[in-house]
């Protein structure tokens, strides 16, 4: 069993809290995290944990720092003892100690033992301790989020101008205006199937699938000539496939946005390697920038016809459009090895997604 120490990335997991039955720990990147393991909320260590967090409650706001407790109590008992207190404080139920084992927070008998961790915004260990003070005393001195590595951090993205010429950008916007779009959801995995879910509080965007073959070919040709060689140069990756031909619309009237997410976390999307955000009218709206929370608060915005290219594994968000209307072309890129994975995983893809995701 690995004992996690400073510099180690921590495992991601899904588990129940009192407010959510399937909380994704991998989604919490982008802030400092305190995570504490206790065998029981009624044990001396558990009570000390609860008291220590209550005494410093003002530090935990989900923006700069968040706290997660992990208790080995059964859920039915834990729900009467510890509760999520949002924003900033949540408790995972880990009766089988599987989360504790993955963090190395178990004793020789495999039982959860008290262990505290401080994580950076990339979910890497900064400090480990056996008592609250060892970790909590560090919190007031933590640097601002975009300097957690000692200097300003930037996301590993490619920002490229002049991928689509203005005439093609206009043609794509005109196609959307003529055809119209529909509210788009996001990918989730339920009962072993990848399907679309909708939540207006998580994503506000409308998409138009490009069915016009001439427009599809025009987009494909420019991605191939102008973007693929730069991806090979910057990331040493040979793109051979493109998924999804859509024009997306984020409206300022509804503060269109997409909350922090990753693009390859389900079986039906695991083949995706790079995401492309290609702005079609960057000068005609305010807001709408891309942000990568794991790498601080800096935002990224390509000019009209330009693209931001990034790994589908990176957590990212589209910030709310404040005014105007943002249009973008949003494909995913992958290679032949990923195409084989996609073929293998097609059985997990809900049939309704086939047209939306086809090449």
Q: At 316, which helix (H) or strand (E)? A: strand 316-318
Determine which helix (DSSP H) or strand (DSSP E) holds 189, and give its type and residue range. strand 186-190
Q: Report the Cα 337 to chain-centroid distance in Å.
A: 24
Residues 6+ apart with CB under 8 A from 343: none
**Residue spans in the chain of domains classed CATH 2.60.120.620:** 158-357
Cα gap 295→157, rounded to integer Å: 11
What pLDDT is recorded for position 3? 87
Q: Are strands 32-38 and 285-287 parallel, antiparallel or unpaired?
A: unpaired
**Residue ranges of the chain assigned to CATH 3.40.30.10:** 14-147
Phi-psi region of 182 (alpha: psi -120 to 50; beta: other; left: phi over 0): beta
In 203-303, DSSP assigns E strands to 206-209, 241-243, 246-251, 258-261, 274-279, 285-287, 290-291, 299-300
What pLDDT does residue 101 have? Answer: 96
Task: Determine which helix (DSSP H) or strand (DSSP E) holds 98, and give its type and residue range.
Answer: helix 98-102
Write out the chain's pLDDT in tens, 359 residues.
688 999 999 999 999 998 888 899 999 999 999 999 999 999 999 999 999 999 999 999 999 999 999 999 988 777 777 889 999 999 999 999 999 999 999 999 999 999 999 999 999 999 999 999 999 999 999 999 989 999 999 999 999 999 999 999 999 999 999 999 999 999 998 888 999 999 999 999 999 999 999 999 999 999 999 999 999 999 999 999 999 999 999 999 999 999 999 999 999 999 999 999 999 999 999 999 999 999 999 999 999 999 999 999 999 999 999 999 999 999 999 999 999 999 999 999 886 655 444 44
pLDDT at residue 18, rounded to an integer: 86
The CATH homologous superfamily for domain 158-357 is q2cbj1_9rhob like domain (2.60.120.620)
Give pLDDT, residue 100.
97
pLDDT at residue 316 in the model: 98
CATH superfamily of this structure's domain 14-147 = Glutaredoxin (3.40.30.10)
pLDDT at 355 (0 to 100): 45
- Rounded (10°) CA dihedral 227, 228, 232, 234: 20
ω before 87 within 30° of 0 (cis)?
A: yes
């Amino acid at each position: 069993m690995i004992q996690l120490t400073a510099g180690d990335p921590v495992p991601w997991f899904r588990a129940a809290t009192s407010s959510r039955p399937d909380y994704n720990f991998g989604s919490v990147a982008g802030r400092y995290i305190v995570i504490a393991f206790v065998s029981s909320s009624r044990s001396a260590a558990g009570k000390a944990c609860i008291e220590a967090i209550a005494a410093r409650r003002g530090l935990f706001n989900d923006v700069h720092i968040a706290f997660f407790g992990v208790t080995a109590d059964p859920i039915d008992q834990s729900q009467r003892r510890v509760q999520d207190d949002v924003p900033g404080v949540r408790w995972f139920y880990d009766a089988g100690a599987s989360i504790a084992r993955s963090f190395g927070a178990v004793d020789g008998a495999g039982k959860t033992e008290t262990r505290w961790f401080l994580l950076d915004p990339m979910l890497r260990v900064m400090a480990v301790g056996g008592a609250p003070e060892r970790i909590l005393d560090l919190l007031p001195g933590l640097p601002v989020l975009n300097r957690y590595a000692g200097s300003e951090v930037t996301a590993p993205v490619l920002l490229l101008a002049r991928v689509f010429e203005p005439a093609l950008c206009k043609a794509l916007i005109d196609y959307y205006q003529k055809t119209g779009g529909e509210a788009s959801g996001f990918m989730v995995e339920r009962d072993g199937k990848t399907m679309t879910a909708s939540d207006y509080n998580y994503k506000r965007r409308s998409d138009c699938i490009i069915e016009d073959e001439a427009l599809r070919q025009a987009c494909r040709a420019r991605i191939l000539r102008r973007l693929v060689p730069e991806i090979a140069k910057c990331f040493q990756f040979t793109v051979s496939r493109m998924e999804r031909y859509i024009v997306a619309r984020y409206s300022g009237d509804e503060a269109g946005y997409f909350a922090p997410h990753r693009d390859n976390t389900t079986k039906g999307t695991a083949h995706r390697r790079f995401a492309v955000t290609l702005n079609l009218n960057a000068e005609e709206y305010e807001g709408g920038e891309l942000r990568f929370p794991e790498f601080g608060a800096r935002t990224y915005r390509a000019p009209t016809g330009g693209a931001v290219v990034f790994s589908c594994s990176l957590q990212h968000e589209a910030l709310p459009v404040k005014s105007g209307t943002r249009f973008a072309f949003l494909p995913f890129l992958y290679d032949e090895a990923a195409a084989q994975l996609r073929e293998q995983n097609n059985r997990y893809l809900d049939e309704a997604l086939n047209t939306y995701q086809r090449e």
